[in-house]
Amino acid sequence: MTRSAALRRTAGLLLVAATVWYLAASIRAHWGELRAFQWRVDPALLAASVVAHTLVLGWGVWVWSRVLRHFEHPPVRLGTLQRIWFLSNLARYVPGKVFQFIAVAQLSRGAGLSGPVLITSILVLTGMSLLSAVVVAAWVLAGGLTRGVDPRFLALVVTLGAVLAVHPAFLNRLLAVIPRLLKRDVIRWNAGWGDGLVLLGLSVVSWGFYGVAYHLFVASLADVPWALMPHLAGVNALSFFIGYASPLPGGAGLREISMTELLEPYFPGGVAAVLAIAARLWTIAAELIGGSAAALLVRGGSGVDAAAAAPVPAGAIDAADGAEVPVPRQP
């Protein structure tokens, strides 16, 4: 194990410990409120929220297919992209990080996606997701998070910043840093500014769909009005944005802490912590359902590309060019 890998693992363990301590302390400090809280467990609504979450993940793959339209590669069916996305995410739950890269490499190679195309498209998609998360949060949460600043002005500034950030000149400046920073080849983003704005808009819509699913999840455990849905959408989006800095898969740690803090204006502290923990399990359930469905399709041979079904050569964890491929992450 290299020194940098050891440091990342140590940082991850410390973050896990800090998260567990924070959430446990929050629950302990508000134990009385937690016991007095009127929980309302609705299994049907909870199941509907998981299904909705899974569909939102599938919508995100469709948005990814829109990103891929701006790169030169063989035609890739949406079902193939769904398998790449869900199965690579499913591989996160197999001990050993290498299995994630093997899954991405094998499925991407079968779809005819080279390493640079895959990496660049995921980086662009991730950037759109993060920008749109901040935009959504700015419009629905700025009033409660800022003091002395007009929330509408702040939301407009954030939106304008996002609009400028999707300009191809800016995106290509960021992409130019990747080969030096990560030692990975990327491809120039040749789409127009209008194309970037469309993708940013689709990402905002993604957070809207995600907000509905998240509201259904919270409503399956607590009595919350539909009028709170935009605020819960902002909580979910901003906690994802903050959690993305976490070295753990899926933003674990920072995402739970930030979600707890952002939920406290609407729920007692202990309840907010429990909801944040439950939200992690909710996300895992949606990813496992989507991944299991994709795995069943592969096993059944429904539309599986022949190359995708071919075994990966020993030691191959790259997508056709010797570069580690980042595992897709999305809302």
**pLDDT tens by residue, 145-174:** 777 778 889 999 999 999 999 999 999 998
Range among 2-16, 159-173, 268-282, 305-319 with highest mean pLDDT value: 159-173
Taking a C-beta distance cutoff of 8 angstroms, is the pair 317, 100 a contact?
no
Q: How many domains does the chain have?
A: 1
Asked if residue 162 belongs to a domain, the reply is yes
Q: For residue 304, what pLDDT is reported? A: 41
pLDDT in tens, 4-34: 666 766 766 777 787 788 778 888 887 887 7
Q: What phi and psi values does residue 96 have, to the nearest 5 degrees?
A: 100, 110
Q: For residue 330, what pLDDT is reported? A: 55
One-letter amino acid identity for 146?
Answer: T
- Dist CA 181 CA 141 (whole Å): 33
Asked if residue 47 belongs to a domain, the reply is yes
Asked if residue 76 belongs to a domain, the reply is yes
Quote the domain boundaries for residue 74.
41-309
Asked if residue 317 belongs to a domain, the reply is no
- Dist CA 291 CA 23 (whole Å): 29
Asked if residue 13 belongs to a domain, the reply is no
Asked if residue 59 belongs to a domain, the reply is yes
Q: Which of 118, 74, 106 is nearest to 298 (CA)?
A: 106
Indicate whether 213 pLDDT > 90: yes
Q: Can you give the length of the chain in residues?
A: 331
pTM of the model: 0.83
Q: For residue 249, what pLDDT is reported? A: 58
